[in-house]
Amino acid sequence: MGPGAFPRNPLPPETGPGIRSRKRGNDKTVLTVNRRTFLATGTAAAASRAVLAAPMSIPIIDCHIHIFDTTRKQGVPWPEKKDTVLYKPALMDRYRKIALPLGIVGAIEVEASPWFDDNQWVLDIAAKDKLLVGTIGDLEPEKPEFRKQLDTFVRNKLFRGIRYGNLWGRDFTANIGKPEFIAGLKALADADLVMDSANPTPRLINDLLRVTDKVPSLRIVLDHLPRIEKPSKPAELKAYMSDLAELGKRRQVFAKVSGVARTVNGKVPDDYTFYKATIDEMWDIFGEDRLIYGSDWPNSDLWAEYPVELKIVRGYFEAKGRTAAEKYFWKNSLAAYKWIRREDNQPK
């Protein structure tokens, strides 16, 4: 996720049967669960508690981590200093301690800064750490300097693309109407690079549909769809679902099953069946060949610790069978990002 982030606990796309929402102080939304749903979830939870007890036999490529150093002299544009959870260095030594014991063999860094020089700052870190199999930078396709910047970074094979969307105060909707923006995206596609996009809203989904019409050769990865707040008005919800279904038909569009965990009555359910309706919807729309794993570390700490987030999606995809799990945890990301294998334990 990162800059321009969502509130910590927005409602999931579908809360499922027996789950409702209510408001309390300061408009904070809290999920409440009826007794039948709670008991059903509790029964299934017994089987999922052992999910992380043994290392996963399938290698995992984490396609969404953020790297930043709050101790730098120039500081960071995100997270904010007042964020007591996130405002501390998020560097590879810290990530390794969390990820390696869980079977993570590679990771892709996704931009957390609109500062141009931070593209190279991250690439310099990646050059020294072979756990990183790619980086997603921050460049603005509508700017006159974009082509020159792209030509510079494309020489580095670890640079796998850019992220663009409703981030950093940019107007994605307006830019789609600019010929120079579309020309920039075509240059990105011609370089065989990808565009990540966040943070998901119904408007963003419609915008991405428009982009795929204009630049059908561009691979797109949709970040954090489980965190979207669906429209409450029937007509708007129908339009959103129609756009999402159409986007799902376009084979160059991938989606990360990331940002799944939710706080319910002060706790985070760690059994995947609680989130099954939400992930099922993505499965039905994008299919097993275009869903990708991403932790959103360390931003995910706002909802749950890394092992909990992983346990949820691991439980779901292992229940789908080994073939589906392998696609989700590494094969689909290779098709989307064409990441660079740097260690013997990284799959090929």
In contact, 202 and 165? CB cutoff 8 Å: no
**CA max distance for the chain:** 59
pLDDT tier for residue 172 given thresholds of 50, 70 and 90: very high
What is d(CA 327, CA 324) in angstroms, rounded to the nearest whole number?
5
Quote the mean pLDDT of the chain: 88
Q: Is 233 a member of any domain?
A: yes
- What is the pTM assigned to this prediction? 0.86
Gap between the terminal Cα atoms of the chain? 27
Q: Judge whether residue 70 has pLDDT over 90.
A: yes
Percentage, residues of the chain above pLDDT 90 = 82
Q: Is 13 a member of any domain?
A: no
Q: Find residue 68's DSSP bridge partners.
A: 90
Predicted pLDDT at 2: 56
pLDDT digits (tens, 9 = 90+) for 282-296: 999 999 999 999 999
Q: Is 18 a member of any domain?
A: no
Mean pLDDT of 75-92: 97
Pairing of strands 28-33, 19-24: antiparallel
CATH number at residue 79: 3.20.20.140
User: Which residue has tokens 């691991």?
Assistant: 314
Least confidently predicted of 109-113, 190-194, 217-221, 259-263: 259-263
Number of structural domains (the chain) is: 1
Q: Is 129 a member of any domain?
A: yes
pLDDT digits (tens, 9 = 90+) for 216-239: 999 999 999 999 999 999 999 999
Mean pLDDT of 310-333: 97
Residue range of the domain that includes 183:
59-337
What is d(CA 227, CA 245) in angstroms, rounded to the nearest whole number?
17
pLDDT tier for residue 31 given thresholds of 50, 70 and 90: very low
Mean pLDDT of 246-271: 95
Q: Is 77 a member of any domain?
A: yes
Q: Judge whether residue 87 has pLDDT over 70.
A: yes
Q: Is 348 a member of any domain?
A: no
pLDDT digits (tens, 9 = 90+) for 126-153: 999 999 999 999 999 999 999 999 999 9
Q: Is 10 a member of any domain?
A: no
pLDDT digits (tens, 9 = 90+) for 95-108: 999 999 999 999 99
Write down the H helix ranges in the chain: 35-48, 92-99, 117-128, 146-153, 172-175, 179-190, 202-214, 234-248, 276-286, 306-319, 322-326, 332-337
Predicted pLDDT at 346: 98
Q: Is 88 a member of any domain?
A: yes
Predicted pLDDT at 198: 86
